[in-house]
């Protein structure tokens, strides 16, 4: 036996350099979190996998000026993780408030949008227990990083990350996670507001099907009353179920939002875009006859040909699209008849296939 064989390997495993690719799987959970509790859970998991963190606290505004509160995570795993931390430092960290304005370290991180490193949780939280530093050492915590949830020039929260020994990432690299959490939180709040009003589809981020039908009924009555042309257009992603099965919820929903954004860009300001069934999009084309509707269809399909999902690089990420139009009077006398006509015509359309994967 050689000397090397007799020596125990004490090398600390270091996480790979932090990139969008290395964080892809945990970031999927961050962006698809349905509640704040699940966002706290997903961001903690992402910090563990991507940064080599041991513990993570997501701090969000309480409604009081300059105050943040540590959010309780959703899963039993993360709840137990924070319970171990609380026991070690002799203070319950869940629900504790953070003075965002009065604490110099927190204020600097949130105002500048950059990570700030401190030695102890006591530098950030109002902890009275005397065993905070001792507890951190017992858990193997080497330092505390403050990751601002920074996006579009401002911070919407803070992630307190307790780092393990030998972390291979620099604080500036860790800011990537804070950016993603900020975007996810903004989207989550926007969707929650949309659900309250009942107007916004939570996946596609456009008007929901109920609102679209209301608008179509109103516009058909207006067109009849003033004897003006009116058409509608629907577009469907025929292989949406396959996208969910093959690539998961996050990417499938991202595809739908990207299609909605492309359609909104290609439409006129006077047109109305909404949802149609699970996999579809529908547009009211005001002051548009059958010839104009056909031109609109070609314009929308041409626009979708240039659509790419950045930073995917996934094999065979293709969309199969079908598009059809219907015109008032020619294809139906009211909203229900127009919807029935365009649905029947959709079944006759050949699918248009589009490769949407793109490198970063």
Taking alpha carbons only, the member of 247, 210, 239 closest to residue 354 is 239
Query: How far apart are the C-alpha atoms of 193 and 195, rounded to whole Å?
Result: 5
pLDDT of 15 above 50: no
Whether 222 and 179 share a structural domain: no
Q: Are 58 and 25 in contact (CB under 8 A)?
A: no
Q: Among the listed ranges 109-118, 177-186, 321-330, 347-356, which one has the minimum average pLDDT value?
A: 347-356
Structure tokens at 264: 């909104």
For 141, which DSSP code? Answer: -
In a domain, 143, yes or no: yes
Structural domain includes residue 200? no
Per-residue pLDDT, 315: 60
349 and 274, same domain (yes or no): yes
Q: Domain boundary at 168, 193, 218, which?
A: 193
Mean pLDDT of the chain: 82
How are the residues of the chain apportioned to helix, strand and coil, as percentages rounded to the nearest 5? 45, 20, 35
Answer yes or no: do 250 and 337 share one domain.
yes
Mean pLDDT of 297-306: 83
| Mean pLDDT computed over 117-121 | 90
Same domain, 214 and 136: no
CATH number of the domain within which 67 lies: 3.30.450.40
Checking if the pLDDT of 269 tops 70, the result is yes
pLDDT of amino acid 7: 36
Q: What CATH number does residue 290 fall under?
A: 3.30.70.270
pLDDT score of 207? 84
Does any domain span residue 6? no
Q: Can you give the residue range of the structural domain that contains 227?
A: 209-355
Range among 14-28, 210-224, 308-322 rated most confident: 210-224
The pLDDT value recorded for residue 326 is 95
Picking from 137, 163, 193, the residue at the C-terminal end of a domain is 193
Residues 76 and 121 sit within 8 Å (Cβ to Cβ): no
Whole-angstrom distance, CA of residue 275 vs CA of residue 263: 12
- Domain check: are 240 and 93 in the same one? no
Q: Look at residue 56 and tell me if it is in a domain.
A: yes
Residue with tokens 């992630």: 159
The rounded distance, in Å, linking the Cα atoms of 50 and 167 is: 10
Task: Looking at the structure, tell me whether residues 177 and 269 fall in a common domain.
Answer: no
Give a yes or no: residue 36 inside a domain: yes
Kindly report which listed range (26-30, 47-51, 161-165, 293-297) carries the lowest average pLDDT score. 26-30
Q: What is the pLDDT of residue 271?
A: 92
Residues 97 and 30 in one domain: yes
Residue 157 within a domain = yes
Say if residue 37 is in the same domain as residue 182: yes
Domains of the chain: total: 2
Note whether 218 and 338 are same-domain residues: yes
Q: Single out the residue of 243, 358, 350, 357 nearest to residue 301, CA to CA.
A: 350
Closest CA to 184 of 48, 313, 50, 60: 60
**Residue with more model confidence, 10 or 186:** 186
Question: Could you tell me the pLDDT band of residue 351, with boundaries at 50, 70 and 90?
Answer: low
Domain boundary among 162, 193, 224: 193
75 in a structural domain: yes
Nearest one of 326, 253, 266, 319 to 293, comparing CA atoms? 326
- pLDDT score for 341: 92
31, 164: one domain: yes
Tell me how far apart the alpha carbons of residues 23 and 11 are, in angstroms, rounded to a whole number: 24
Give the best-scoring range by mean pLDDT among 161-170, 188-197, 326-335, 348-357.
326-335
Continuous segment of H or E residues that includes residue 134:
helix 132-139
Comparing 258 with 312, which gets the higher pLDDT? Answer: 258
Q: What percent of the chain has pLDDT over 90?
A: 39
**Domain for residue 19, yes or no?**
no
Query: Is beta strand 67-70 parallel, antiparallel or unpaired with respect to 143-151?
Result: unpaired
Residues 152 and 269 in one domain: no
Average pLDDT score over residue span 316-345 = 90
For the whole model, what pTM was predicted? Answer: 0.55
pLDDT per residue over 198-248, tens digit each? 577 777 878 888 889 999 999 999 999 999 999 999 999 988 888 888 888
For residues 176 and 49, state if they share a domain: yes
């Amino acid at each position: 036996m050689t000397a090397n064989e007799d020596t125990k390997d004490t090398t600390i495993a270091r996480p790979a350099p932090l990139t969008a690719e290395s964080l892809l799987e945990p970031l999927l959970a961050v962006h698809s979190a349905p509640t704040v509790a699940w966002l706290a859970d997903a961001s903690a998991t992402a910090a563990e996998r991507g940064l080599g963190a041991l513990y993570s606290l997501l701090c969000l505004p309480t409604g009081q000026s300059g105050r943040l509160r540590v959010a309780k995570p959703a899963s039993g795993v993360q709840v137990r993780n924070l319970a171990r931390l609380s026991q070690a430092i002799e203070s319950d960290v869940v629900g504790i408030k953070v003075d965002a304005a009065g604490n110099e370290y927190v204020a600097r991180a949130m105002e500048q949008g950059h990570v700030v490193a401190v030695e102890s949780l006591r530098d950030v939280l109002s902890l009275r227990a005397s065993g905070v530093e001792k507890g951190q050492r017992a858990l193997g915590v080497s330092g505390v990083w403050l990751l601002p949830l920074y996006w579009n020039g401002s911070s919407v929260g803070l992630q307190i990350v307790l780092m393990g020994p030998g972390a291979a990432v620099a604080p500036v690299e860790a800011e990537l996670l804070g950016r993603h959490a900020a975007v996810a939180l903004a989207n989550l709040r926007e969707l929650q507001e949309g659900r309250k009003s009942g107007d916004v589809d939570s996946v596609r981020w456009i008007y929901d099907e109920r609102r679209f039908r209301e608008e179509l009924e109103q516009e058909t009555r207006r067109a009849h009353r003033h004897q003006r042309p009116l058409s509608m257009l629907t577009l469907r992603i025929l292989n949406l179920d396959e996208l969910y099965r093959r690539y998961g919820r996050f990417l499938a929903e991202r595809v739908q939002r990207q299609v909605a954004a492309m359609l909104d860009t290609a439409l006129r300001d006077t047109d109305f875009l909404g949802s149609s069934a699970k996999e579809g999009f529908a547009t009211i084309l005001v002051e548009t006859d059958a010839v104009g509707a056909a031109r609109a269809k070609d314009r929308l399909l041409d626009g979708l040909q240039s659509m790419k999902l950045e930073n995917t690089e996934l094999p065979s990420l293709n969309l199969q699209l079908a598009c059809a139009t219907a015109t008032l009077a020619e294809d139906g006398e009211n909203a229900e008849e127009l919807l029935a006509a365009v649905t029947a015509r959709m079944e006759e359309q050949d699918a248009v296939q589009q490769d949407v994967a793109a490198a970063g």
